[in-house]
Amino acid sequence: MKTILTAERLLTPVEIIESPVVVIEDERITAVGGRSAMELPAGRHLDFPGCVLAPGLIDIHIHGGAGHDVMEADAPGLAAMENGLLRSGVTAYVPTTVTAPMERLLSSLDRLGKYISQKNSSNGVRSLGIHLEGPFISHAKRGVHPTADLLPPSPTLLERFWQASHGAIRIITIAPELPGAIETISHARKLGIIVSLGHSNANAAETQAAVAAGAAHVTHTFNAMRPLDHREPGILGVALSDARLTADIIADGIHVAPEVLELFIKAKGVEGAILITDAISATGMPDGNYRLGEMEVAVRDGRCEREGTLAGSVLTLDRAVRNIAAYAGIPLQEAVRLATLNPARRLAMEGERGLIASGRAADLVALTSNREVAFAMAAGQASRI
């Protein structure tokens, strides 16, 4: 049976369509247009007066939610997390690990890889692969990642992680200044893994060498990296100025000040910036103590800390969209793009998701006039929020 969505406006997000009609069959969008040019076909009609339709949001850096950490969650735990994601408009995500003892990390990669291959989400939300954040990161910029479990990067070790994940690793974060990093970056590219630079004290030359080797992205820009200096711009100077790199950022107003968020958008432009949450298991939960991998994190008033250091966030991606629009002064259309089309392109999935167009996955959200999520659809499964 066909499902027909109508609303006040649609953000594809590269185009704005007034009084849109979106036709869905099974898990796919089959037609998109304006009411003036399209007749409503027979089928289930869902109308959202006063709302804006947009693609489902995509989070490429998320550690957990709804009380569950991706490194410990079983299938029911991941399903509970995915229910929470859908309530915030997220229809696809990349579960992200943290540095942990070797056997724990390998076990988590195995479990996540099997879950991803089975595509057994109960609500249509899809995991698009694994983001391996650590152990190939700098001791100087490790954040809360445990020192004892950090490891020097090597193609051999990356291959071990790849095999443990059943080929599901999609992104790795690596500090390019570490011995063995360039060789590991080259091997990652041969495996089809996206290399993201982060948790790094690299100087500009070391960063540029990593880009030449195939690094293409930057992890939570400004956080856990060498500060910008006018004589030695370091990793941050390259991240902001090199158009070959996309870069993501945590727009919660805690990790990065609003003024710097505005500067970030001006530097990377709406084509090079991506919103992430870096959310942990506490997301959607009351204040208290929660898990991030092997670590216990205290959550109070929106801040996640371990021994005084920020440890992820409780940000949701819909809130990040609202925040970046307000802080950077950009239109909603551009803010939506940072959480839809841009991450889809970074993952080389633009032909599948991140865009409302015929043939794409039926992943959509309806946003109210306050930009709150009123409705979400993942893989054609409708969910009133």
Q: Which of 278, 301, 318, 363 is catalytic?
A: 278
Cβ pair 196, 215 in contact under 8 A: yes
- Cβ contact 170:94 at 8 Å: yes
Distance CA 353, CA 343 (A): 10
Which DSSP category does 109 fall into?
A: H
Contact between 70 and 97 (Cβ < 8 Å): yes
Q: Which of 119, 32, 132, 133 is nearest to 75 (CA)?
A: 119
User: CA torsion, points 226, 255, 312, 61, in degrees to nearest 10?
Assistant: -80
> Which two structure tokens, joined as six digits, stand for 338?
């940072």
CA distance 373 to 385: 7
CB atoms inside a 10 Å sphere around CB 103:
8
d(CA 25, CA 382): 12
Cβ–Cβ under 8 Å, residues 272 and 238: no
Closest CA to 60 of 209, 246, 324: 246
CB atoms within 10 A of CB 152: 13
CA distance 23 to 10: 13
Closest CA to 97 of 184, 151, 169: 169
Q: Which residues contact 39 (CB under 8 A, 6 or more apart)?
A: none
Residue for token digits 């004892």?
148
R_g of the chain computed on alpha carbons? 20
> Is 207:241 a contact under the CB 8 Å cutoff?
no
Q: Catalytic: 278? A: yes
Count of C-beta atoms within a 10 Å radius of residue 34: 12
Catalytic positions, written as ranges: 278
